[in-house]
Amino acid sequence: MVRASALKPSSKFFMRKHRKWPVSPYNTRWHQIFNQNQAFQSLKKSSPPPENQPHLLLPTLVYSFSTYNVDPTPEAYHFVLKTLTKTSQFDHIAPVLRRLETVEKFDTPEHIFAHLIGFYGRWNRTQDAIDLFYRILRFRCVPSAHSLNALLYVLCGSCEGLKLVPEILLRSHVMGIRLEESSFRILIDALCAIGKVGYAIDIMNCMMNNGYGLNVKICSLILSSMCEQKDSEGVDVMGFLGEMQKLGFCPGMMDYSNVIRFMVKQGRGLDALNVVIKMKGEGIKPDVICYTMVLHGVITEGDFKKADQVFDELLVLGLVPDVYTYNVYINGLCKQNKVESGLMMISSMEELGCKPNLITYNILLKALCNNGELRRARELMREMTLNGVGVNLQTHRIMLDGLFGKGDIEEACVFMEEMLDKVLVRFCSSFDEVIYGLCHRGLACKAMELLKKMIDKNVAPGAKAWEALLLSSGSEPSLEETTWTGLVEPMVALP
């Protein structure tokens, strides 16, 4: 028999202090978590198909957890809601939310509401998304920018939703939600998408006034949107760029490319050249795309001397011109009536491994036809065919216009028939010119043959062709014929 004095001092101290043995391990927190996990697995296995019996999901949830004598978890409710959203069971979501709000006691995680708000947005149920956002506090959840951003994504997806954003922002302030940088980005993206760049700049200024630093991606987005404005009058791109640089914005290659493209579209090629100079001053080497755009801009302005300097500069910098660069430069040469230099550029291109394309040949063909050099134009057309460059409708039209301009109507007819045989076209003004020329030369029969072939190919003759055929009959058009001609003209102009 062991005497009481033989018990360990620690054991006697525990019994004297607590007067009971340690708590059973079956009543600890880990056992409750284990039962909740078991109930959750049971819920997943016994859940009925939502497309057949969606109304049984909530009772199954309650039964699964009551079987294990534990309360449902937020994850279980999220599972039920996700299951209902997958099959768009709108009517059965409300009872789940009602029980979650009135029966359960836990703090509902915010990501559940963000998921539901996004779901309502995808189904254009904007009001449901707004109502749920306003109810978040009732679910013992402290809302943040996470749920607000989910709602902003929904609202910014339509013009009607954007009108509701100011009210939502005011209510979110009352709810204690602080706008994060991501929230401002959503608003700026939406405003730039609808062309309200001025408002986007105001939002960016508001963001910085709220203590956030200058965001490089937002600056680039606004700058790009400014450069894409269709109504570019009054848009001070360089002014905005200068102000942002003062605040620490360092534009990259893409930013400068957008600005150069904007300047060229406005017909300000020399200003685009100044942007390239600014890039080099900041240590950014312009690429061949920048130089090609500037080259196009200065040629459009007619400053061919600057164009030569730009082309030489890109070569000196070690940049390799592509076919687009060569096409722009050849077009500039042709505008100066330097067709021979343009033809020589084809050889230079091939030596550098840059194969001329259809645009290259069409530029030179048009220049030759404009100069009346139809023989050389035919030779060039044969050359392009031998080089594997197929002709298109524009090629035929260039040759057709050149032949007609020189008065070679018979060969123009040959080209016209070739166009009708190889190319499907609905209307071509050059066809009317050829028919008119044939009728003017007394070749009405040939004109009628071409007209019949045009109609067989579903090509609409113009009013000038009909008028020429009427006049070729040898009498003045009657009142009815004149009226008919007047009706034909607007009809053929329809798309």
Question: What is d(CA 330, CA 335) in angstroms, rounded to the nearest whole number?
Answer: 9
Exposure class string for 64-79: b at 16+ Cβ within 10 A, else e: bbeebebebbbebbbb
What letters, b where the CB count within 10 A reaches 16 and e where it falls short, cover 260-269?
A: bbbbbebebb
Instruction: Kindly report the number of other CB atoms within 10 A of residue 375's CB atom.
Output: 9
- What secondary structure does DSSP assign to 141-174, as a single string? ----HHHHHHHHHHHTTSHHHHTTHHHHHHHHHH
SS3 (DSSP) at 175: coil
Query: What is the rounded average pLDDT of the residues 210-238?
Result: 86
Q: Which residue has the higher pLDDT, 442 or 381?
A: 381
Instruction: Judge whether 477 and 467 are in contact, CB under 8 Å.
Output: yes
The confidence score (pLDDT) of residue 477 equals 46
**Res. 422: pLDDT tops 70:** no
pLDDT of residue 494: 42
What's the Rg (C-alpha) of the chain? 38
Is a pLDDT exceeding 50 seen at residue 451? yes
Q: What pLDDT band is residue 27 in, cutting at 50, 70 and 90?
A: low
SS3 385: helix
For residue range 341-380, list pLDDT tens digits in order: 999 999 889 888 899 999 999 999 999 999 989 889 989 9
Q: Return the pLDDT at 189.
A: 95
Say whether pTM exceeds 0.95: no
Q: Specify which of 208-217, 385-394, 483-492 reaches the highest per-range mean pLDDT.
A: 208-217
Q: What is the pLDDT of residues 105-157, one digit of tens each?
A: 999 999 999 999 999 999 999 999 999 999 999 999 999 999 999 999 999 99
pLDDT for 252 equals 94
Rounded Cα distance between 376 and 369, Å, is 9
Helix axes 393-406, 409-422, angle to 10 degrees: 170
CA distance 476 to 479: 10
Q: Residue 191's CB: how many other CB atoms inside 10 A? A: 23
Worst-scoring range by mean pLDDT, 11-25, 66-80, 201-215, 216-230? Answer: 11-25
Q: Residue 405 is encoded by which pair of tokens? A: 């301009």
pLDDT, tens digit, 9 for 90 and up, residues 247-282: 999 999 999 999 999 999 999 999 999 999 999 999
pLDDT of residue 390: 84
- Cβ atoms within 10 Å, residue 468: 22
